A and B are shown apart, each in its own frame.
Chain A
């Protein structure tokens, strides 16, 4: 750092040119933050764009309902799977949604523990996204089964007259535990973090219904020192609880594949590779939501360029881990010397589904690597595009793993192909509708940016807040 100077106290003083951008735009006070954010909820006229988007989201959600009805009355055969490809869009989308949920936990918990204060204006929003994504993901393990009316409780360990327990050796049972724990802890974390803000909304509520609802949700929050002390402890505890979940959920999801004996699935690299991929996809989704939201609600001064750039950096870092995974898969297939592994890899890259692998390389390797350049990281339009690519890329990654491993495995006589049906797509778009609906309701009724936490990082507040 040629231009840095040594201050009189011996600590380096950063040239303002190189100083990190502020986390909140200058000029904000506690009041202005509250005004700005609380206004987004019930207090202001709903923007027309919100209504339009909700309309679209509800239409998509209707598709989900139709798809579920069709599924229940006609059968899972409406979807595309067959033998050998027993899983298709169902598990691809399940893993994809779960992955997307990851950024929420990471931002909430790990960045909190690492004292990354820049997380404070985006964490609420990312957590909400996590919950919505987990809800979307949950549709799949249930409805992809042949008999969902039984699957919804037979996979749970409950004492029953049949004296039967689930098979604890099955990765699908591990999934049940991992995902439900994850969903539950994320919900708690999100809700506990929101309590002070709910108190604010309660106090500002104009009508009776808002008063009652926010009143009940804020659980008697009175902003007392004792409340703050308990709250901080609970929050930190939940953060500690969530942290292993960031690693565990997607590791367990990856066991669905890694534990099997199918070439292309049976791979030890899967747990870290899946976790990194999930964070990668999750941050892409946060950016995809934050960038338009920031523009729509004029939140540039709360979700600043520094947030955006930091998220881009996380994306780049996790993306590189994922890229390493791709390379290692190729290398290990060759290095193993195993005929079936080698065939699988060759067929994955050059076989009939070569396009999926090529598209994966474009989306997850070539495009995200533009983020090495600061110009790319700070251009919100480009970043939005990159995030879209990553979202598609991570979907393709699951497609590549699931379909191109299964469709040509050990016995050539049983090889087949896989193609999604309209019902597969209707269901997927439907879960998109569910996600959008939940997110829209969230930004309309709940504080999308944590007011209390933003206030902690206001310039004047730095000395007051420990964390």
Chain B
């Protein structure tokens, strides 16, 4: 590899770009499939998938998802390596290995910056489902939706499958040999031109390896780039305390929570723990001795957290800082006043909020979001300190990041070095910086410059935008395929263990760094175990200690101790107040589902309705109703072929993109929000070109907001896939579907949710059916539910629910069994938002059962509404007659039945994969009920309370969902149903649902809104 200067035209693997020429080289037909010719050929070759047969308005994307990828998978395997499979029984079975019985392994996933402990269900050696690890502080038995989606990422057929140099398939050994001369050259230079670029690293082993590397190459540098990294928070801590520290929140101590743009329930490695602790203070059935907490949210965009606020102020970004300054000066900090929102209501909320904080200073928690600049973070720390809440509600610890993000290790610094020709070898250990770095940082242009950086290596799960611009691409082993370790948000250490051998011979960062250290043969296992030798006390037996840690999934009591730190009052506090620039801010936010685009190729994530907009498969310019009026953006127009909106040209700083515009009630005025992660160019078949890439609008200095935006309608219409395609919610309260009241109201009348005059029990000519054994039921606490969507993804994963694609969504054919209904209450400027998960109601008088002509849906003797897929002929009568519309129909063969795509490995073997023409719906995870029944029978006992957890219940970060036996008065679900807040949907139609709800209680400041949140008050707004 002497010719390290390679013309970029050769480095670029497949010229899919402007030239449109057919690539000369390809590694597989898969890759070639990017060309139009092969698409046409495939199209003809598989006439059953030809679009002539299908509705032209219909299934193109569905084909892209299922048809094309599976057809290709079959094709390419014919031409490439096909593993020879022999089915032989074990002559001697491994211990404790019972075919058909899943085994669970504890490990960790670092999906959102910090480790979440998980227990992974494995069937015959293939992981199928991810559950939370109850012992792990970052999980507490639950996970976020990202962790749920990881199992699909593992089996993604688009993952990169081999080491490649330029465009040719290579071997790991060839790679190791090729980098040797470069490293030797660097050694002589003390590593002056050696650079590592990693995403957030919490792994002590990897950090140790890199430290070792930096010891060998003293002038080498380790840069960090990760859009989910907490750069502003760290810089804020540096301002306030002189060093990087991270905040850890103690919600159990916090009575008043003031969030300045902090989406602590929606993003971050601590969100699951936050959600659990936050909602624990919001859900109860009697007026407990402790008070309900109150959340004030100051927000310059929209978020899940904002939708759970008791008071929410939707303001512009600079006004968030203004409110922070207001708060700071109210507690006696010497800061200048800043910009404040103009509305009288916001002003009165700020006043009340300050008053509230001053009443309970030590029980107040002020938190600042990553999208706010470092100064506001620093101010937030100072305010907490001044209030005395530092140490009670806000704990500071050392950051869990081994290399906390800063200006020195940023990608901008790296890009500057690259552009200056100072970088000779760049190793990118995971992530996709070419797609996620702000173009202004210069990284992309430096990568494209063929004269710079002689050796570029990318380790990644996908052959993506970054690998396209690298010489070498090494397929990365998925977290479920390799050993490692990681820290939870509070520093708790865990070992990550693999569930399956790497599907595509992927390598871990550990192995890559180790090869840089001159050892290319050590496995991750050896590397991690060696590193842990020093971590387990010498006195203890290492093997025993190691096994214990792996079994438990964490090292007990390894959380970071609280750091003692005092703010350093200094010049930083005199910073010039930010003011509103221009008359339109553009807020950039991580997508609630695909983050920075890393989940773009994950069908579950793309199809997951976003928490507030309920949009799937797209990003949009989100805009408030008032601002929409200003730019004459029309309301979305619902139709049977999607929700049609106008495209707009969003312009800021001389750059512009064309995107659909979507009106969101409660969005701050004079601000538009765009989500990152859209418009991926090389993401794989699912995510390619979904949404619009907005990176070009961002700046490196202020990546989360940019002022001076302009919006112009460009007149073209665009169809969006929105799963709640209805705009008017006016009569939600008259319908009695969502019941909500204030804490004051609840205290005065705990039964406020019971509608007077509503019949509780309707007579029948027949005696009630006796349920002698178990009688299953579910309770969903709307006070606890935060609308995070984890339950939907968990359900999709557990129950083999198909992904249908945007066109089918637009036709109203989504398949998720569980949906979260979103309600707006109050005016459209600042509405309260409520989330209501709706699974099957499992009615006792089920309207679906009587109308099925072939008895394909019947009642079990435990009261479940069983769905017999084999018997279903698909008349859809049951769905029509379901008042709750929870049934889902396979209009096409949505599930992959025909091929050996790796996705089939993900399927839960306990759940039927449904065929075309069959109705399906929530089963209360009947496979789990049956498993418990079999176990209990084998052991000659009753099914224990709590033994069965439905997938949605198990994953729920706030434990809003409770399932159990209604015949047992002591069961958790029976107790929930005895709550005065208990109600069922549409009681008057006498379907007798087994799923019931606990009415939502909010805690608005009584001074601010005397008599606010009347349960019957609810006005109409579109969403």
Contact = CB atoms under 8 A, between A and B. Distances in A.
A95 to B, nearest CB: 14
Interface stretch (A21-29, A208-216, A259-267): A259-267
Interface string B36-55: 00000000000010000111
A212 B821 CA distance: 69
24 contacts: A74-B53, A77-B58, A77-B892, A78-B58, A83-B879, A85-B812, A86-B880, A87-B880, A147-B873, A154-B871, A155-B853, A167-B853, A260-B881, A261-B881, A352-B638, A408-B726, A411-B884, A413-B819, A414-B724, A414-B884, A415-B725, A417-B638, A417-B639, A419-B639
Interface string B404-439: 000000000000000000000000000000000000
Given A70-B53, A150-B873, A419-B639, A412 B726 contact: yes
Contacts of A65: none
B933 interface: no
A80 B819 CA distance: 22
B818 to A, nearest CB: 12
A411 B885 contact: yes
A84 B885 contact: yes
Give chain B's interface residue range (CB within 8 Å of chain A).
Answer: 35 or more
A172 B851 CA distance: 7
Contact of A145 (B56, B811, B873, B879): B873
Interface string B978-1022: 000000011001010000000000000000000000000000000
Interface string B877-896: 10111011101111111000
A236 interface: no
A428 to B, nearest CB: 15
Contact of B731 (A83, A144, A339): A339
Contacts of B641: 419
A371 B125 CA distance: 77
B221 interface: no
Interface string A191-220: 000000000000000000000000000000
Which of B53, B732, B854 neighbours the largest number of chain A CB atoms within 10 Å of its CB? B854
A170 B881 contact: no
Nearest to B916: A75
B853 A417 contact: no
Interface in A167-186: 167, 169-173, 176
The 4 closest A-B pairs by CB, nearest first: A146-B874, A146-B917, A77-B891, A82-B812
Contacts of A381: none
B735 interface: yes
Contact of B873 (A146, A256, A411, A422): A146
Contacts of B822: 413
B874 A147 contact: yes
Given A146-B919, A410-B735, A170 B850 contact: yes
B875 interface: yes
B55 A423 contact: yes
B874 A416 contact: no
Contacts of A147: 872-874, 915-918
Interface of A: 70, 73-78, 80-87, 144-148, 150-151, 154-155, 164-167, 169-173, 176, 256, 259-262, 339-340, 343, 352, 406, 408-419, 421-423
Contacts of B872: 146-147
Given A339-B734, A411-B737, A415-B725, A86 B876 contact: yes
B1004 to A, nearest CB: 25
Given A416-B725, A421-B57, A172 B879 contact: no
B441 to A, nearest CB: 42
B890 A146 contact: yes
- Secondary structure at the A interface, as helix, strand, loop or mixed, is loop
Given A146-B918, A151-B873, 13 more contacts: A83-B887, A84-B812, A87-B877, A146-B873, A146-B876, A147-B916, A171-B851, A172-B851, A410-B884, A412-B737, A414-B884, A416-B640, A423-B55
A86 B889 contact: yes
Contacts of B819: 413-414
B877 A411 contact: no
A150 B54 CA distance: 23
A418 B873 contact: no
A76 B737 contact: no
B450 interface: no
Contacts, number: 199
Nearest to A73: B48
Contacts of A85: 640, 812
B729 interface: yes
B838 interface: yes
A179 to B, nearest CB: 13
Given A76-B874, A83-B813, A146-B917, A417 B640 contact: yes
Contacts of B54: 74, 78
Contacts of A352: 638
Contact of A416 (B729, B812, B880, B881): B812
Contact of A417 (B48, B731, B812): B812
A173 B728 CA distance: 37
A146 B889 contact: yes
Interface in B899-951: 915-919
B847 A415 contact: no
B59 interface: yes
Interface in B726-762: 726, 728-729, 731-732, 734-735, 737
A75 B638 CA distance: 25
Contacts of A80: 640, 811
B855 interface: yes
Contacts of A78: 53-55, 58
Among A80, A83, A172, max chain B CB count under 10 A is at A83
Nearest to B918: A146
A418 B876 CA distance: 15
Contact of A86 (B48, B640, B821, B879): B879
Contacts of A82: 640, 811-813, 891
Contact of A154 (B638, B726, B854, B916): B854
A166 B853 contact: yes
Interface in B827-872: 836, 838, 847, 850-855, 871-872
A417 B725 contact: yes
Nearest to A340: B735
Contacts of A148: 873
A87 B890 CA distance: 14
A77 B916 CA distance: 9
Contacts of A409: 883, 885
A84 B888 CA distance: 9
A75 B892 contact: yes
A463 B873 CA distance: 58
Given A86-B880, A170-B877, A75 B893 contact: yes
Contacts of A262: 880-881, 883
Best-surrounded residue of A82, A155, A171 (most CB of chain B within 10 A): A82
Contacts of A256: 877
A422 B639 contact: no
A413 B916 contact: no
Contacts of A414: 724, 819, 884-885
Contacts of B56: 422
Contacts of A155: 853-854, 873
Contacts of B919: 146
A413 B821 contact: yes
Interface string B10-51: 000000000000000000000000000000000000001000
Nearest to B48: A73
B871 A164 contact: yes
Contacts of A418: 640
Contacts of B838: 411, 413
Nearest to A155: B853
A412 B735 CA distance: 9
A79 to B, nearest CB: 8
Nearest to B810: A82
B1018 to A, nearest CB: 11
Interface string B387-412: 00000000000000000000000000
